[in-house]
Amino acid sequence: MRLVVIANRLPITVKSLDPVKLERSPGGLVSGIETFIKKARISDWVWMGWGGSNLRKKDVQKIKELLLNKHRCLPAYVPEKIMNKFYNGFCNRTLWPLFHSMPTLATYEKSTWESYIEVNRIFLKTLLENLEVGKETHIWIHDYHLMLLPGMLREVHPEAKIGFFLHIPFPPPEIYAQLPWRREILEGLLGADLIGFHTYEYTINFLRSLSRVLGIEHSMGELVYLDRLLKVDTFPMGIDFELFNSIKGVSKKTKAIKQALGNKKIVFSVDRLDYTKGIYNRLLAFEDFLRRREDWRGKVVLILNVVPSREGVEQYQSMKRQIEEKVAQINGTFGSVEWVPVLYHYKSLSVEDLVAHYKASDVLLVTPIKDGMNLIAKEFVASRRDLRGVLVLSEFAGSSRELGEALVVNPNSVEELSKAIELALEMPPEEQESRLRIMQDRLKRYDVLKWGSEFLETLKGIASKRDTLKTKELGDRLSRKLKDMFRSAKSRLLLVDYDGTLVPLAKRPQLAVPTQEIKDILYLLGMLENTQVVLISGRKKGAAASVVWGSTYNPCCRARLLGKGAKERLG
Ligand code: F6P
C-alpha cells in the first residue's frame, strides 16, 4: 500500500536554507500521524503540505529534492499574500470560529474564500505534478484547511481512494448553515470515499447538514453522491500510549519542578493560545477557589503554560492581553513574597518537559469551551504510571466521550469549575487510582495505531464496495435472456431503483423528477397481469406523490432495465 498524507503543515519546518536547518513542526495532528506511520510500519509513504512562510518559489524548488528524498515530504509553494488570506483569513477567521460553534466571531469575506479555493487548487496541482495516483495509492487528506481538495481530486481521478479526516468539531447544522459557502464545502468533502470525525456528535452534525443543505440522506453512514457510494464514520484519535506511559529520563525534571515550588500542590494547565481553550475562565475559577478557600492559600500553585499560536489573528492577540492582565491581578491580590499563585509561561514545551509537568502535577485542567478531541487530556492520563493525579475535563472536549472517569465539568460555569479544582485537590489517593486505571485501560486499547489502522481499513473497504457497485452495461446476450425470462414468467416482481437509474441524480431530491416517458413505462408495466412493480429509493415514503416508493434501498438493483425506447423493447 502506498500512503499519501496531505495536511496544511508538513511534519518538518524549514527554518533556514543556508545552511539548511529543519525543525519538527508543532501540533497534535503532526505527531499523531507520524507516530501512526511509524507504528503501522508503513514503508511507502509521502507527506505533502505547505512549504513554509519563509520560502520563496525558487527556494521551494531548491529544497524539494532534499525534503522528498530524505524526509518523504513534498512541499507545496503558496505565495505569501495568498497564504496569509488563506490561513489567517478563511481558515482561522471563518472556519475555525464557526466550526467551534462561535459564529459571532466568524467573518465572511469573499476574497479570503477565493484564497481558500486557490490554495486547495495549488495543493491539487502540486500533487498531480509530483506524485502518481495509482490503484494502490491511498490518499489521506487532513483537516479544515483542505476541504475542497477531495472534490477537486475526484474530478481528475474518479477511481482514486480518497479519505478525509476532520481534526476539529463539525458544528450543528443550524450553525454550519450560516456559512455562505456551505454547499461548496460539503460538495468538496463528498469527493472523498470516507469522511471521518473524532466523535459521533460531529458525525451526526455532518450528516444532518448534508440533509439540510444538499438534501442528501444516508443509511447507516453510507450515502450515494453523483452515482458513487461513500461513507461517513467516527474514529476518535488516540495517542502513543506506550510513549507517554513509559517515557524515560524525565524524573530529574519532575523532581526539579516539585522542589522549585517547595512541594506545594500543583495545578497544571497547558494549551495553545486560543479562545476555544477556555483559559480565561480557568483563571476566573482558580481566583474563585482562592477566594472561597483561604486555607489553601500559600499551599497551591497554578502553572499556566500558554503555547504561542496564530499571532497574525487579532482575536488571539487581544486574548493574550486579557489573560496576562488576569494573571497579574490574581497574583497581585492573593500573592505574597513567599508565594506566587499563578506561574505564567508563554512558550512551547518539549515532550520531555511536558511529561515532566504532567508527572509533577496533582491536577490537570483541560477545560476548553469547545475542542475537537484534545490529546493533552489523554497524554496526562497515560503518563501517570504512578496512578496519581486528577484530570478536570470539559464536557465540550471530544476526549470527554472516552474519559468519563475524569471530573467532567461545564467550563462556562466558574462555580462548577472552581468546585472541581477543590474536589480534585482533595480527592483521596484510592479514588485517583481507580479513575486513572479505568481510563488508562481504555486509552491503551484504542491508541493512535488503532485509530489510523481502522480509518485506512474502512477506506479500503468502502472503496472496494464502491467499485463492485458500479453500474455494468447490459449487453445484447443478457438483454435477450432477460426479455425471454420476463415473457415466460408466470408472475413477475420488478424491483426498480429510482435515483440514478430512473432519473438522473440531482443535487436536491425535489429536482429528481421522472420524465413523462418513464411514467408511461411504469404505468404500462403496472397494467401487465401478474406483474408487480416496486420502486426502490432511500428517501422517506410518500416524499414524492407522483411515484410509489419502496421502503428499502437495495443498491444491488441498479440494472438499467428501463431506458429510452423501453416500450418497444418490452413489446
Ligand atoms: O486542532 C486542529 C489543528 O489544526 C491541529 O491539527 C493543530 O495542531 C492545531 O490545530 C494548530 O494548528 P496551526 O498551528 O497549524 O494553526
Tell me the CA distances in angstroms from 441 to 379, 408, 437, 490, one per residue in order: 13, 19, 6, 62
Ligand 1 atom with the smallest distance to the CA of 8 is 15
Paired strand residues for 281: none
Give the residue, by CA position, lying nearest to ligand 1 atom 8. 27
Quick one: three-class SS letters along 355-421?
HHHHHHCCEEEECCCCECCCHHHHHHHHHCCCCCCEEEEECCEHHHHCCCCCEEECCCCHHHHHHHH
Helix-then-strand count for the chain, H and E:
21, 18
Q: Cβ(130)–Cβ(51) under 8 Å? A: no
For the residues 145-172, what does the mean pLDDT come to?
Answer: 98
Ligand 1 atom with the smallest distance to the CA of 29 is 6
Whether the per-residue pLDDT at 546 is higher than 50: the answer is no
Distance 362 CA to ligand 1 centre (A): 27
Least confident stretch, 253-257, 284-288, 530-534, 549-553: 549-553
Ligand 1 atom with the smallest distance to the CA of 26 is 8
Paired strand residues for 407: 392
Q: Residue 19: is the preceding peptide bond cis (ω within 30°)?
A: yes
Ligand 1 atom with the smallest distance to the CA of 9 is 15
Cα separation, 102 vs 126, in Å, equals 34
Distance 164 CA to ligand 1 centre (A): 16
The residue to mutate among 24, 143, 371, having the most atoms of ligand 1 within 8 angstroms of its beta carbon, is 143
Distance 29 CA to ligand 1 centre (A): 7
Q: Which long-range contacts (CB under 8 A, 24 or more apart) does 348-355 make?
A: 348/26, 348/307, 348/308, 349/270, 349/305, 349/307, 351/247, 352/247, 352/249, 352/250, 352/253, 353/253, 354/270, 354/379, 355/244, 355/247, 355/250, 355/379, 355/383
At 442-453, the pLDDT tens digits run 999 999 999 999
Ligand 1 atom with the smallest distance to the CA of 143 is 4
Whether the per-residue pLDDT at 559 is higher than 80: the answer is no
At 189-248, the pLDDT tens digits run 999 999 999 999 999 999 999 999 999 999 999 999 998 999 999 999 999 999 999 999
Least confident stretch, 96-105, 161-170, 457-466, 472-481: 472-481
Cα separation, 545 vs 367, in Å, equals 51
Give the residue, by CA position, lying nearest to ligand 1 atom 12. 27
Give the global pTM.
0.84
Distance 26 CA to ligand 1 centre (A): 8
Give the residue, by CA position, lying nearest to ligand 1 atom 15. 9
Distance 375 CA to ligand 1 centre (A): 12
45 vs 547, higher pLDDT: 45
Percent of the chain with pLDDT over 90: 75
Residue 472 pLDDT class (50, 70, 90 cuts): low
Residue 543 pLDDT class (50, 70, 90 cuts): low
Distance 310 CA to ligand 1 centre (A): 10
For the residues 126-140, what does the mean pLDDT come to?
Answer: 95
Which residue, among 395, 305, 294, has the nearest Cα to 343 in the 3D structure?
305
Question: Catalytic residue among 362, 447, 497, 499, which?
Answer: 497
Give the residue, by CA position, lying nearest to ligand 1 atom 7. 27
The residue to mutate among 167, 239, 396, having the most atoms of ligand 1 within 8 angstroms of its beta carbon, is 167
Ligand 1 atom with the smallest distance to the CA of 91 is 16
Distance 96 CA to ligand 1 centre (A): 10
Q: Which residues line ligand 1 (CB under 6 A)?
A: 9, 27-29, 143, 167-168, 272, 309-310, 372
For the residues 51-57, what does the mean pLDDT come to?
Answer: 83
Give the residue, by CA position, lying nearest to ligand 1 atom 9. 27
497 is annotated as an active-site residue? yes
Residue type (1 letter), 81: K
The residue to mutate among 5, 6, 8, 9, having the most atoms of ligand 1 within 8 angstroms of its beta carbon, is 9
Whether the per-residue pLDDT at 512 is higher than 90: the answer is no
pLDDT value at residue 567: 43
Distance 309 CA to ligand 1 centre (A): 9
Give the residue, by CA position, lying nearest to ligand 1 atom 16. 310
